[in-house]
Chain A
Amino acid sequence: MTRFPSTTAFRWSFAIALWTATASLILFAFIFWQTTSLERRENDETIERQLAYIAADPTEIVPRIQDWLGGGIHADRFAGYFAPDGRHLAGNITAIPSGLKRNGQVRDSTGPVSVSHSEPRDDLLCAALQRADGHVVVVALSDDDIERAKDAMIRTLGLALIPMILLSVIGGIVLSSRARRKLVATEGAVAAVMRGDLGQRLPAGAGRDEFDRLTANVNTMLDRIEILVDEVRSVGDAIAHDLRTPLTRLRARLERSRDEATSVEELRQAIDRGLEWLDQCLGLITAILRIGEIEHGRRRAGFRDVSLADCLTEAAEVYDPLAEAKRIRIDRAIDEGLPPIWGDRELLFEALANLIDNAVKFTPVGGRIHLSLRRYGDELEIGIDDNGAGIPLAERSHVFQRFYRAEPERHSRGNGLGLSLVAAVVALHDFTITLEDAVPTGCRFRIVCPLDGATGTARPRAGEPALVSAGVADQAEAPGS
């Protein structure tokens, strides 16, 4: 784990504080510059206006100078009246400042200005005007105002900058430690998951920010992974169990026959029985491998245009004699002229055969199985109804899982993989299968096969690995049809 000051969050908060301070400084500088130059312009105007006013009327020069000087409170006003020969006539400026153009324009004093009752001042804004009669009027204003304003602003800035930087650093620390706290909790949970505790979840935040959304997504992902791992685990257990049973029987039978068989014929019988059990094991393994192969979508090489009507008819025909033996009637209601779908003929046949096999198995003697294939808009719908006992609602979502067998069926033949294979084939084709109540009794498997509007075929997308439960929906309500 990284030390706190070097965490990204802290570095970011520090950088933001620095950036805020810099930006504020620039802003202050701009305001400062704008303010002082405005004040400076105002002063210049005052001086120039006053100079023009004072110098306008020769008889009024002295009284106006007196007025001008009298108006200042802080002794910041200056003026001088000079004869053409430079002699001081009136005002508190005692000599014409050198280097000052006598055109009425303000200039920073280029040198010290001699004033009465004081040291020469070098901080004055001066303007001089030479009248037509040769007399010179000088008006000046101390720029103390501006300097004071400058000082005040710099002080204010200094005072404001320190708390501002402090504030942004504190804000940064608070924010980053909040993020840090979340992150530490998350890291802990992730570490637990990495150790193999898949039940662990990331702490969910109440907020709706990106981090909380990410957390929620990771949790959903963990939910899914947990389910899958559980599934794999229980499938593994089921395989082991289903293999152990016939193998145990086989072992016992071989042992007993070796000790007890008295004739070749007896041994042969034992071996035949043993071979049957072995075939059962091999069949189970083959079925598992096949389902895995189908689920991983590796069987698309056999995809071509397939007539579902033919597939369903042929599957039904294969089961006719078996159904007849049980006095079960297999009805067909197959629409004509249906477009082909894009799929694997053999796999579709196998899936349909499995469903019909299932239906024959669960329909009582003298019962009825109804097969249908219809087109509804852009979809073909296969229905396989039986009038057996049906499947309780609670068990429906399990029937497509590997090795699931409804309790009464647990002891019957079959490895519980038939419907898993159906689910895998359905998912491979991007179809969906639902299990519903048939009317009036029994259950109904309904497979919906989307047609691709333009070509009349559904071309499955490549890619995502099909899961056992993919494409399998659990329909709680009885069908409307």
Chain B
Amino acid sequence: MGRLLLVEDDDETAEEVVGDLRRRGYEVERAATGPDGRAAAFAGGWNVIILDRLLPGCDGLSVLQDLRKAGDRTPALLLSALSDVDERIRGLRAGGDDYLTKPFALGELAARIEALLRRPVGAKEALLRLGTLELDLVSGRGRRGRRELDLLPRELKLLDYLMRRPGQVVTRAMLFEEVWNYRFVPKSNLIDVHIGRLRRKLEAAGEPPLIHSVRGLGFALMPDD
């Protein structure tokens, strides 16, 4: 799986997060202060670093900035209690790869770590294949087996995103950020409605399901063979 470093000062939060991530099969170490976190981060050997924004002793951002200056490109996910969205922009500019505002669901954190650990499939390819599913990004056409799929532009984007992350849980927030490119939590079950529409197109009567719902969290596209 992967080795994760969690730099988090709050013991209770750290305990929950570490426990949850270990159950999911990760090897997790925790540093409780800025200096400890800095030392651990610079020691290297991590697959993902989870960094609290506000730490005793120093700012999580400065740790990240120093790490990036030293040429370390280990994916980093910033956690913050600061709801100010400018804070997120600052975090990403400092070299963060993702930013999660407290409070967050443990599943959301796990899904985002997973996304950071796995490189999207076929990052540069214009023709994606997953089981019987085929998506040609140049012509904008999709097929399942022999059946031609009639996809709207946004559905195309959605399917593109999902096909590059096969078997991986993507949360509603992640979809909205990545597919719609907006960062906000829609009030209604908007994403579900879009997924539902895509699902109806992908899964004609009798065909095995491709998009699976992950309870309370999001969706995952599973190959059908």
Per DSSP, chain A at the interface is helix
The answer to whether A299 and B83 touch across the interface, beta carbons within 8 angstroms, is: no
The answer to whether B196 and A357 touch across the interface, beta carbons within 8 angstroms, is: no
A293 at the interface (CB under 8 A from B): yes
The answer to whether A353 and B89 touch across the interface, beta carbons within 8 angstroms, is: no
Can you list, as one digit per residue, whether each of B193-214 has a CB less than 8 Å from chain A (1) or not (0)?
1101100000000000000000
Given A275-B216, A302-B85; A350-B184 close (CB under 8 Å): yes
Given A272-B216, A302-B85; A319-B182 close (CB under 8 Å): no
The A155-197 residues at the B interface (CB cut-off 8 A) are none
Kindly provide the distance from the CB of B12 to the nearest chain A CB, expressed in whole angstroms: 16
The answer to whether B216 and A319 touch across the interface, beta carbons within 8 angstroms, is: no
CB < 8 Å neighbour of A298 from B84, B183, B187, B216 = B84
5 closest A-B pairs by CB: A321-B193, A301-B86, A289-B83, A350-B184, A322-B193
A283 at the interface (CB under 8 A from B): yes
Given A282-B103, A321-B197; A298-B86 close (CB under 8 Å): yes
Given A290-B83, A298-B84, A302-B86; A349-B187 close (CB under 8 Å): no
Q: Which residues of B contact A299 (CB under 8 A)?
A: 84-86
The B62-93 residues at the A interface (CB cut-off 8 A) are 83-86, 89
The answer to whether A353 and B196 touch across the interface, beta carbons within 8 angstroms, is: no
Kindly provide the distance from the CB of B91 to the nearest chain A CB, expressed in whole angstroms: 12
The answer to whether A414 and B187 touch across the interface, beta carbons within 8 angstroms, is: yes
The answer to whether A357 and B194 touch across the interface, beta carbons within 8 angstroms, is: no
Interface residues of A (CB under 8 A from B): 272, 275, 282-283, 286, 289-290, 293, 298-299, 301-302, 314, 317-319, 321-322, 325, 345-346, 349-350, 353-354, 357, 360, 413-414, 418
CB < 8 Å neighbour of B196 from A289, A321, A346 = A321
CB < 8 Å neighbour of A319 from B84, B190, B196 = B190
Task: Give the residue name and chain of the A residue nearest to B180 (CB).
Answer: A318
13 further contact pairs, Cβ within 8 A, besides A290-B83, A299-B85: A282-B103, A286-B101, A293-B85, A298-B86, A301-B86, A302-B86, A314-B180, A318-B180, A318-B194, A321-B193, A325-B193, A353-B186, A360-B188
B185 at the interface (CB under 8 A from A): yes
Given A325-B193, A357-B187; A350-B182 close (CB under 8 Å): yes
Q: Which residues of A contact B85 (CB under 8 A)?
A: 290, 293, 299, 302, 346
Q: How many residues of B contact A (CB 8 A)?
A: 23
Kindly provide the distance from the CB of A293 to the nearest chain B CB, expressed in whole angstroms: 5
Task: Give the residue name and chain of the A residue nearest to B198 (CB).
Answer: A321
Alpha-carbon distance A19/B184, docked complex (angstroms): 73
Q: Which residues of A contact B101 (CB under 8 A)?
A: 286
Q: Which residues of B contact A275 (CB under 8 A)?
A: 216
B154 at the interface (CB under 8 A from A): yes
Kindly provide the distance from the CB of B148 to the nearest chain A CB, expressed in whole angstroms: 21
CB < 8 Å neighbour of A346 from B183, B189, B190, B197 = B183
Interface residues of B (CB under 8 A from A): 83-86, 89, 101, 103, 154, 180, 182-190, 193-194, 196-197, 216
Q: Which residues of B contact A317 (CB under 8 A)?
A: 154
Alpha-carbon distance A332/B186, docked complex (angstroms): 21
Given A319-B190, A346-B183; A286-B86 close (CB under 8 Å): no
The answer to whether A349 and B196 touch across the interface, beta carbons within 8 angstroms, is: no
What are 9 A-B pairs with beta-carbon distances under 8 A?
A289-B83, A290-B85, A293-B83, A298-B86, A318-B180, A346-B183, A349-B184, A350-B182, A353-B184
Alpha-carbon distance A322/B89, docked complex (angstroms): 31
Given A293-B85, A301-B86, A325-B193; A283-B186 close (CB under 8 Å): no
Q: Which residues of B contact A286 (CB under 8 A)?
A: 83, 101
Kindly provide the distance from the CB of B13 to the nearest chain A CB, expressed in whole angstroms: 15
Task: Give the residue name and chain of the A residue nearest to B153 (CB).
Answer: A317
Q: Which residues of A contact B190 (CB under 8 A)?
A: 318-319, 321-322
Alpha-carbon distance A350/B182, docked complex (angstroms): 8
Alpha-carbon distance A229/B77, docked complex (angstroms): 40
Q: Which residues of B contact A353 (CB under 8 A)?
A: 184, 186
Task: Give the residue name and chain of the A residue nearest to B85 (CB).
Answer: A299
Task: Give the residue name and chain of the B residue nearest to A292 (CB).
Answer: B83
Kindly provide the distance from the CB of B101 to the nearest chain A CB, expressed in whole angstroms: 8
Alpha-carbon distance A289/B86, docked complex (angstroms): 13
Q: Which residues of A contact B184 (CB under 8 A)?
A: 346, 349-350, 353
User: Among B103, B185, B187, which residue has the most Cβ atoms of chain A within 10 A?
Assistant: B187
Alpha-carbon distance A254/B184, docked complex (angstroms): 30
Task: Give the residue name and chain of the B residue nearest to A279 (CB).
Answer: B105
The answer to whether A301 and B89 touch across the interface, beta carbons within 8 angstroms, is: yes
Alpha-carbon distance A317/B186, docked complex (angstroms): 13
Q: Which residues of A contact B86 (CB under 8 A)?
A: 298-299, 301-302
Q: Which residues of A contact B154 (CB under 8 A)?
A: 317
Alpha-carbon distance A376/B194, docked complex (angstroms): 35
Kindly provide the distance from the CB of B41 to the nearest chain A CB, expressed in whole angstroms: 27
